[in-house]
Amino acid sequence: MVALASSAMKAALAGGTVGLAFMRIRASKGYNPEQFGFVRPPALWTLGFVATYLAWMLASDAVIHWRGPWDFGPWKQAPLLASALRVLAVCILGPTAEELIFRSLFFNWLSKRLPMLIVVGTTAVSWAFLHYTYSWSVIAIIVVDGILLGLARWKTGSVVPPILMHAAYNFYAIW
């Protein structure tokens, strides 16, 4: 019961954040979907960024073992609905919320004021510090993650590749 309530709360918070981010983006003065990365990304660039990100994810885990051992025990003990809600929260809604905030809203705001490489770096570091409860070595990896996510957003002009990349990473990390 606790697992179900916890997973439901995480999904509700992440879903609410996605909704609030969309509302804030839509309320922006002179709203233009393209500025916020709401465009179809080029398929080859997207595949290239996703493949690079997955390679980075596996390599960084092989070096410092940030993921830890595979442990399916909690999944087996939790009700199916709790597990489904956890995957929804951590692998779909959470990454979507974070990417809408950092690689859509914040990225757009900064890109009007700073050179693009500074925008990529600033959003990466800001996003990494959102994960302050992790060790410094993992935060350093998350900074690199953020740089890759920002480069994908910049080079494709779309927020879709960073969302896909982030979702894949979380799907690997959650088990």
| 68 within some domain | yes
Instruction: Specify the pLDDT at position 146.
Output: 98
Instruction: Specify the pLDDT at position 175.
Output: 80
| 165 within some domain | yes
Which alpha helices (H) appear in 27-115, and where do they start and end? Answer: 43-64, 73-77, 80-87, 94-99, 107-111
Q: Residue for token digits 């600033």?
A: 122
Instruction: Specify the pLDDT at position 95.
Output: 98
| 81 within some domain | yes
| Tens-place pLDDT, residues 45-91 | 999 999 999 999 999 999 999 998 988 888 889 999 999 999 999 99
| 32 within some domain | no
Instruction: Specify the pLDDT at position 75.
Output: 87
Q: Give the range of the structural domain holding residue 100, as residue numbers without chain letter.
A: 2-25+42-174
| Residue ranges of the chain with per-residue pLDDT less than 70 | none
| 33 within some domain | no
| 143 within some domain | yes
| 31 within some domain | no
User: How many domains is the chain built from?
Assistant: 1
| 96 within some domain | yes
* CB-CB contact of 36 with 108 (8 Å): yes
